[in-house]
Structures are given as C-alpha cells and as structure tokens.
Amino acid sequence: MIIRKLTILSAIISLFTVSAATAGTLDTVKSQGFFNCGVSQGVPGFSNPDSDGNWSGIDVDVCRAVSAAIFGTPDNVKYVPLTAKERFTALQSGEIDVLSRNTTWTLSRDAQIGLEFAGVNFYDGQGFMVRSDSGITSAMELDGASVCTNLGTTTELNMADFFRANGMSYEPVVFEKADEVVNAYDEGRCDTYTTDKSGLAAQRTKLADPDAHVVLPETISKEPLGPVVREGDGDWADIVRWSLNAMIEAEEFGLDKGSASSTCATTGNPVVARLCGKEGGNGAALNLGDSWSYDIISQVGNYGDIYEANVGANTPVGLARAGSPNASYKNGGVLYAPPAR
Amino acid sequence: MQGRDLSLNNILFNRSVQGIFYQIVTLALVILAVIYIVDNTARNMVARGLASGFEFLGVEAQFDIQMTLIEYSPTSTYFDSFIVGLLNTLLVAGLGIFVATIVGFTIGIARLSSNWLVAKLAEAYIEVLRNLPLLLQIFFWYFAVLRALPKPKQSLELFDSFFLNNRGLFIPDPIFGEGGTLILYSFIAAIIISIGIAAWSRQRQNKTGQTFPVFYSSVGLIILFVFLSLFATGFPVTFDYPELKGFNFKGGIKLIPELVALTFALSMYTASFIAEVVRAGIQAVSLGQTEAARSLGLNQGQILRLVIIPQALRVIVPPLTNQYLNLTKNSSLAAAIAYPDLVLVFAGTALMQTGQAIEIIGMVMGVYLLLSLLTSIIMNLFNRFMRVAER
C-alpha cells in the first residue's frame, strides 16, 4: 500500500524534472518527414483551398518550394488555416513552422514577438474599395465614411494614420474573420472596405456582383508581404529565405519550370549551373542536398511562374506585374534576390 | 501522559498522522506545479525573444475604436483602449441585465398564467430560445436586423429628428444651456421629496390603514418641478439634430446596430433562463399563501406583488446571480459582430499589435473575474436584505 503510493508520488515528481530538449526546427522537420505551413482561411490567389481541399496560391507556393528543397517533392506540407488573430501565436507556440499568410513585414512584428521575416514574396500596398454607384473616385472623398476591416492587422493602424494625416473622420467597423468583413461590406453596413490591394482584388471575386465595385487609385501604405519563422532558428530561416531567393534569381536568369530540364542539360552559364545544382555545392551550407534549387524550379517554378499562375493578369485576381513593385529590378520593379552562391 | 506509546509503529500507522502527511505532500506538489509552470513560461518567453512586462500600456495605440464612451483618439494609450473596451462591456452588460430581468420576470409569470394561450406562448419562447446557441442568435439578430434596415440615404424617419438605418439609430441630443444646473437641482429635489412622501405614506398606512397614491403623485411632482424650472429659465434646451452629411448622419446620439443586436440577443437569451428561475421561485411559495391572501380580499396583482414575489425572491436570487454572471461573460461574444467590447478591442486588436498575449489575457481575465465577484457580492447583499425584510 505504502509502496504503491510512493511509486505514484515519485512518478509525479519525475514529471517536473524532465526538461524538454529543444531540437532545431530543421531536425524535427527532417525526422517527421513534413512541416506545418500556416495559411489564410481562403484568400484567392494567395492561399485558397479548392473543392477537393487542395491548397493553391502564391503563399502556398513558398511552402511548396521549401518542401521541394528539403524533401525533393512539394507535397510534404500540412496546411493550417489561421485567422489574423491567431497566426502569430500559432507560430510562436510551435503549432506551425512557417507562416505564409500575406503577413506584412513591420518593425514591431520583427523585433517584438520573437519572430523573424524570411523575405518578401509580394510587395503590396493598402487601398480602399467602394461601390461603383457611390460616385466616389478618390480616397480623399471618404470623410465621415464607415470603413469595414479585419481585426488585428496593419490595416487598422494604417487606416487611422491615413485619416488622421488628412484631417478626415471615419467610423471603423472591425470584424474578426475576413468573410464577415466582406459580408458586412456587401450588405451595405459600410461605405468602403479596406485591406491590401491584393486582398481587395482577391476578395472582390467573392462578392455578389464583383463588377459593381471599384478599387480606388490611392495606395496609402507599404505592405511587403512575406513568410515568417521563429527567431533563433537560423538553419530553418535560411532555408525558407533562400528557397524564395532561388525562385527570384531563377527568373532573372531565364530558368523556368517548363524548360528547367533542357536548360540545365545544355547551359554554359555558371550562375544557371549553380541553380541547377550541377556545380557549386552550396546545398551543404543549407544542410540540404545539391539539387535543392533544381527541385524547387522544376517542381514549383520560378517567381514569374508562381506569380502568373496565381495572381497574374490571366487569373480572376488579375494583378498585372508590369509597372508594379513585383516586377524584376531589371524591369522597373523591386524584386532583387541576393546571389545564390 | 499514561498509556501513550510513542513507538515508531504507532506514529507511522496512526490515521491522523498519515492524513496530515498526505495533505502536506499534496500541497507541496500543487505549489511545485505552479512554480514549474511560471518558471517554464518565463524561461521560454525570454528564450523566444517575446517582450514582457506592462510598459506597453503607456504606448500610443494608433488605432481607432468605433464607439467610445470617453474621449479617445489614435494617440491615446493602450490603457485608454482598455478603459474604452471595459466601459463598452459594462454598458452592454448593464443594458442586457436590465432588459433581461424585466423580460424574464414577465415571461416567467406569464408561464404560470391561467390563460392557456399566454402560458403556451411563454413556454414556446422559453423552449426555443434556451436551446439555440447564443452565437447563432447573435448572428441572427445582427444580420436579420441589418438586412431589414435601409441605407442612410433612405432612412426611416420620425418627425425629421429620429432616424433609423443600417448604420444605427440616431436620436437628437439635448444640450442644456444656461440654467441647466437649476433644472438638475429641481429634479433632484423632486426625487428627494418623493422619497419623503413614500416614507410618510407608509407611516400613515401603518397607523391608520389609509393608502396614498405614492407612485402617481411622485411622478406628477417630478414633472411639475422640471417644467417649472424649465419655464423659469426660459427653456434653455437646444437639440443637436442628426443630419445626413455625406455618408452618414452627424450629430445627435447614435446607437450602433452592433450594440442593439448584441443587447437584444443577450437579453432574449438570458431572459428565457431567468423565466424558468422565476417560475421555480414562485412555485416554491406554498399554495397556502395564495389562498390566505385571496381570502383577505386581495386581487391577483396585489397577491403577486405583496405576498408571492417577496417570498419567491429568496429562492430566485441565487440562480438569478448566476444568470447575470453568464450574461456578463457571454457579452464577450461581441467580437463576432464588431461590437468594440473589451475582448475585441483589448484582447483582439491590442493583443495583435503588441504580441503580449499573457499580460493582456491576464488583464482581461482579471476584469471578468472582478466583475463577476462584484455582481455576486451585490446580489448576496440584496439577498440578505430580502431575508431581513421578510421577518
């Protein structure tokens, strides 16, 4: 009797003395054979499930690129849909390994919450959407308007800054879920809906009558959207960062998904050869095999491929690349990847 | 001490000694668990680079809030946003409790009516509203109400001063000019005199049995005093009428549809529970009381008001406290329909912008705990007062 009680007691006490050894994310991911990618709950063009539950989008493609780099196949990813409110807590707590959910890179997010941004996969800005028949043609005419937006995003802060800077008043109507915001705007609860312009284009496809709404020309903020990882996890962050950079650099040197195998077989350009994994051996520095960049490009594509497939001019989202910051730096945009060597 | 054998065997196998030993061990384990959790949390927060501490409360919030009962702008601090959220929660909880009590008592008494139709309608109300989840009811009121109301340009209007549309209910705001204090003082004086009249009439009734229409005379007195003072100061009341300027109405008092929908949903839901509590309390009063009152010649209304309810309140008040606490906590569902209560403003926006989940959630939990404790203390005092009055 006493022996039984003493055994139970010692078992309970021993629980408290076990301290969890923190393995790096890369080791955990390699041993379990997949990783968790935090995405949105459905933003067309960025991360959206189809009717079979398959995810697609430019944010999804970043995670697929990481998976291709580590495992040689883009499918070893589990997608976790998150609201704007829970996305950072999910990453901080370890529920997800990468957050690829059109998240804006800001100082407070980088420095204050134990997270780190691994690059920018879409340069965006905040805008307003109104009904065409309201007769509004400029954001400066929005004095006194009711504005629908999402809870806990940079949108709320930028909106306050914009109206304050221009001496206008407004009424914020703030919902937690993106679907509720769109619904309320569609119902007429608000005069205007504000979020990143890419989000406006994406959510417009969900409205009852997409053509009855127009996006106003003003861009009131900078919104560099990119993947986020936990701070202190250098190896993992490097892989995510360089997967994205490899895609951007591949486009700069003309290496795309369709012609990857033939170009790699015949190329004499050393930069291309390195991206094809034929020489240079920089996979070891990332703790990956040598074909990491070739796997990304041949199975997911370069930046141009994933942009045109998800948010390009031929998609329902329809964001033209020319003239936007998302063009390559050689074409007047801001997309510039450090050399992968 | 004779016969006390202090050998080791006797100590080890002594029942009370064993009991004390296990209690000490369990207490030590609980304290160890708490220390472990706190230490683990602190260590991990430092390791992951998470900011901690309460300094963020002094930082500018930089976001706006839809409805604030105090002065607030994006340059106000996070602590100000906390106060705004708290006041909004108190507002919806207070309104909800008030309406729910009135509706709940009415439905509960109606449930016991001898009129078959009234009783059945009350029963239908209770059964339907008790069994549907509150979140669905909130969505129903919000979207059903929103969908039914017109856009601002086609508002429903009354006397060109009251406007109803899907942005809210707009009421003219009375602004008191010169002499406003005189009106206020006369109003307070009228109330004090009414209380005096009530006390005097009760004394007279105890002595001579003559009743006096206290309620009507006090109402008349208050109206008379206010009108006299208004007249004396020359009607210095101007109204700030709501006017359609651009998108929305400006001026006047505005009730946002989120507040209305949330109050409605919370009150209707909690009223169905309160109705059952009231019914239980009334049925707990023995039938002999009703019979005795009837034989004294009291009518149904007087029986209910003077005999049944005071005795039923002893049974009603504790579960009623529960329902009030439930309503207060359920008001946190406001986050689903954009009503800027404490959870949405502080544990939503502020938490997202600062990332300090533990401090903020701790503060919010502390607030709800405090509100609940205050409510139950007040209701317990009321309960004790009821018990004394009964004697």
Q: Which residues neighbour B64 within 8 Å (Cβ) at sequence distance 6 or greater?
A: A156, A159, A160, A163, A170, A172, B72, B73, B74
Contacts of B33 in chain A (CB under 8 A): 16
- Residue to mutate among A95, A146, A230, with most B CBs inside 10 A, is A146
Pairing of strands B168-171, B162-165: antiparallel
Instruction: Check whether residue A213 and residue A251 sit in a common domain.
Output: no
What is the reported pLDDT for B274?
96
Pairing of strands A115-117, A126-131: unpaired
Q: Which domain-ending residue is among A169, A195, A221? A: A221
In A, minimum Cα distance to B12 occurs at A2
Residue A214 lies in a domain: yes
Contact B352 A152 (CB under 8 A): yes
Give the mean model confidence (pLDDT) for residues A60-82.
93
Is B64 exposed, middle or buried (CB count within 10 Å of its CB: 0-12, 13-18, 19+)? buried
Instruction: Check whether residue A130 and residue A119 sit in a common domain.
Output: no
Give the mean model confidence (pLDDT) for residues A57-76.
93
Residue A44 lies in a domain: yes
Q: Are A129 and A200 in contact (CB under 8 A)?
A: yes
Contact A108 B248 (CB under 8 A): no
Contacts of A231 in chain B (CB under 8 A): 48-49
Instruction: Check whether residue A287 and residue A240 sit in a common domain.
Output: yes
Q: Are A49 and A55 in contact (CB under 8 A)?
A: yes
Helix axes B257-284, B309-330, angle to 10 degrees: 150
What is the pLDDT confidence band of residue B7, given thresholds at 50, 70 and 90?
confident
Give the closest residue to A221 by CA, choosing from A46, A311, A104, A116.
Answer: A104
In A, minimum Cα distance to B356 occurs at A113
Half-sphere exposure of B32 (CA within 13 A, CB side): 13
Contact B352 A151 (CB under 8 A): yes
Give the mean model confidence (pLDDT) for residues A274-290.
84
What does the pLDDT look like over A93-120, one tens digit per residue? 889 999 999 899 998 888 888 899 999 9
Q: How far away is chain B from the Cα of A154, in angstroms, using its nearest Cα?
A: 8
Residue A193 lies in a domain: yes
Residues A25-56 as b or e (16 or more Cβ within 10 Å = b): bbeebeeeeebbbbbbebbbbbbbbeeeeebb
Contact A176 B344 (CB under 8 A): yes
- Residue to mutate among B34, B40, B64, with most A CBs inside 10 A, is B64
Q: Which of B48, B66, B357 sits opposite A173 (nearest CB)?
A: B66
Q: Which residues neighbour B352 within 8 Å (Cβ) at sequence distance 6 or greater?
A: A84, A85, A88, A151, A152, A153
What does the pLDDT look like over B12-61, one tens digit per residue? 778 888 889 899 999 999 999 999 998 888 887 777 767 677 888 888 88
What is the reported pLDDT for B148?
79
Residue A307 lies in a domain: yes
What is the reported pLDDT for B245?
75
d(CA A137, CA A218): 10
Contact A85 B167 (CB under 8 A): no
Q: How far away is chain B from the Cα of A21, in angstroms, using its nearest Cα?
A: 12
Residue A2 lies in a domain: no
What is the pLDDT confidence band of residue A259, given thresholds at 50, 70 and 90?
confident
What is the reported pLDDT for B151?
81
In B, minimum Cα distance to A1 occurs at B13
Q: Report the amino acid identity of residue A126.
A: Q
What is the reported pLDDT for A15?
54
Percent of chain A clearing pLDDT 90 (strictly above): 43
Q: Which of A92, A160, A175 sits opposite B48 (nearest CB)?
A: A92
Measured in residues, chain A has a length of 341
- Long-range CB pairs of A47-54 (<8 Å, 24+ gap) are A47/A79, A47/A81, A47/A100, A47/A101, A47/A102, A49/A79, A49/A81
What is the pLDDT confidence band of residue B4, given thresholds at 50, 70 and 90?
low
What does the pLDDT look like over A209-237, one tens digit per residue? 888 999 998 899 999 999 999 988 889 99
Instruction: Check whether residue A217 and residue A241 sit in a common domain.
Output: no
Q: How far is CA A273 from CA A68, A261, A284, A294, B102, in A?
A: 18, 12, 16, 10, 80
The more confidently predicted of residues A160 and B253 is A160
What is the reported pLDDT for A13?
60
Q: Which chain B residues have any C-beta within 8 angstroms of a chain A C-beta?
A: 25, 29, 32-33, 36, 45, 47-51, 62-66, 73-74, 143, 146-147, 151, 166-167, 245-248, 250, 257-258, 335-338, 340, 344, 348-349, 351-355, 357
Contact B348 A85 (CB under 8 A): yes
Q: How many CB pairs under 8 A join A and B?
A: 121
The 3-state DSSP class for residue A224 equals strand
Q: Which of A84-98, A133-147, A150-164, B46-60 is the least confident region?
A: B46-60
Q: Are B332 and B342 in contact (CB under 8 A)?
A: yes
Give the mean model confidence (pLDDT) for residues B240-249.
78
DSSP 8-state code for residue A323: T
d(CA A341, CA A277): 11
What does the pLDDT look like over B148-168, one tens digit per residue? 788 888 888 888 788 888 888
What does the pLDDT look like over B313-372, one tens digit per residue? 888 998 999 999 999 999 999 888 889 999 999 988 888 888 788 889 999 999 999 999
In A, minimum Cα distance to B51 occurs at A112
Contacts of A174 in chain B (CB under 8 A): 66, 338, 340, 344, 348-349
Contacts of A101 in chain B (CB under 8 A): none
Instruction: Check whether residue A89 and residue A211 sit in a common domain.
Output: no
Residue A231 lies in a domain: yes
The 3-state DSSP class for residue A190 equals coil
Contact B338 A174 (CB under 8 A): yes
What is the C-alpha radius of gyration for chain A, rounded to an integer number of angstroms?
23
Q: How far away is chain A from the Cα of B26, in angstroms, using its nearest Cα?
A: 9
The ipTM of this complex is 0.75
Give the mean model confidence (pLDDT) for residues A63-81.
93
Give the mean model confidence (pLDDT) for residues B115-136.
95
Q: Does position B2 have pLDDT exceeding 70, yes or no?
A: no
Q: Does position B389 have pLDDT exceeding 60, yes or no?
A: no
What is the pLDDT confidence band of residue B5, given thresholds at 50, 70 and 90?
low
Q: Does position B128 have pLDDT exceeding 90, yes or no?
A: yes
Instruction: Check whether residue A171 and residue A30 sit in a common domain.
Output: no
In B, minimum Cα distance to A86 occurs at B352
Q: How far away is chain A from the Cα of B158, in angstroms, using its nearest Cα?
A: 21
Instruction: Check whether residue A234 and residue A111 sit in a common domain.
Output: yes
Contact B340 A174 (CB under 8 A): yes
Contacts of B48 in chain A (CB under 8 A): 92, 114, 230-232
In B, minimum Cα distance to A5 occurs at B22
The more confidently predicted of residues B3 and B115 is B115
d(CA B322, CA B320): 5
Residue A12 lies in a domain: no
Is A75 exposed, middle or buried (CB count within 10 Å of its CB: 0-12, 13-18, 19+)? exposed
Contact A172 B246 (CB under 8 A): no
The 3-state DSSP class for residue A48 equals strand
Instruction: Count how many domains chain A has.
Output: 2
Q: How far away is chain A from the Cα of B4, in angstroms, using its nearest Cα?
A: 25
Q: Which domain-ending residue is among A195, A221, A247? A: A221
What is the reported pLDDT for B225?
86
Q: Residue A321 is part of a domain; what is its CATH number?
A: 3.40.190.10
Instruction: Check whether residue A166 and residue A302 sit in a common domain.
Output: no
Contact A9 B151 (CB under 8 A): no
Query: Rounded to the nearest 5°, which phi and psi values hold at B172?
Result: -60, 140
Q: Which tokens is B230 given?
A: 């208004």
Q: Which of B94-108, B118-132, B186-200, B273-287 is the least confident region?
A: B186-200
What is the C-alpha radius of gyration for chain B, rounded to an integer number of angstroms?
29
Contact B64 A160 (CB under 8 A): yes
Q: Does position B169 have pLDDT exceeding 90, yes or no?
A: no
In B, minimum Cα distance to A159 occurs at B63
Instruction: Check whether residue A206 and residue A324 sit in a common domain.
Output: no
Angle at B222 between CA B217 and CA B223, to 5 degrees: 100
Give the closest residue to A99 by CA, choosing from A36, A151, A30.
Answer: A36
Instruction: Check whether residue A118 and residue A232 sit in a common domain.
Output: yes
What does the pLDDT look like over A307-327, one tens digit per residue? 999 998 888 888 888 888 999
d(CA A317, CA A200): 9
Can you list the alpha helix ranges (DSSP code H) found in A267-335?
Answer: 270-276, 292-299, 303-310
The more confidently predicted of residues B305 and B26 is B26
Percent of chain B clearing pLDDT 90 (strictly above): 36
Q: Does position B3 have pLDDT exceeding 90, yes or no?
A: no
Contact B247 A88 (CB under 8 A): no
**Segments forming the whole domain that contains residue A63:** 25-123+224-331
What is the pLDDT confidence band of residue A18, given thresholds at 50, 70 and 90?
very low
Q: Which domain-ending residue is among A189, A221, A253? A: A221
The 3-state DSSP class for residue A46 equals coil
Contacts of A18 in chain B (CB under 8 A): none
d(CA A34, CA A40): 19
What is the reported pLDDT for A19?
40
Q: Which of A54-68, A170-184, B2-16, B81-95 is the least confident region?
A: B2-16
Q: Does position B239 have pLDDT exceeding 80, yes or no?
A: no
Q: How far away is chain B from the Cα of A82, in angstroms, using its nearest Cα?
A: 13
Segments of chain A assigned E as strands: 35-39, 48-49, 55-56, 77-81, 98-104, 115-117, 122-124, 126-131, 145-150, 170-175, 192-196, 213-215, 223-230
Instruction: Check whether residue A43 and residue A189 sit in a common domain.
Output: no
Mean residue pLDDT of chain B comes to: 86
Give the mean model confidence (pLDDT) for residues A26-39.
92
In A, minimum Cα distance to B36 occurs at A16
Instruction: Check whether residue A37 and residue A111 sit in a common domain.
Output: yes
Contact B247 A146 (CB under 8 A): yes
Residue A15 lies in a domain: no
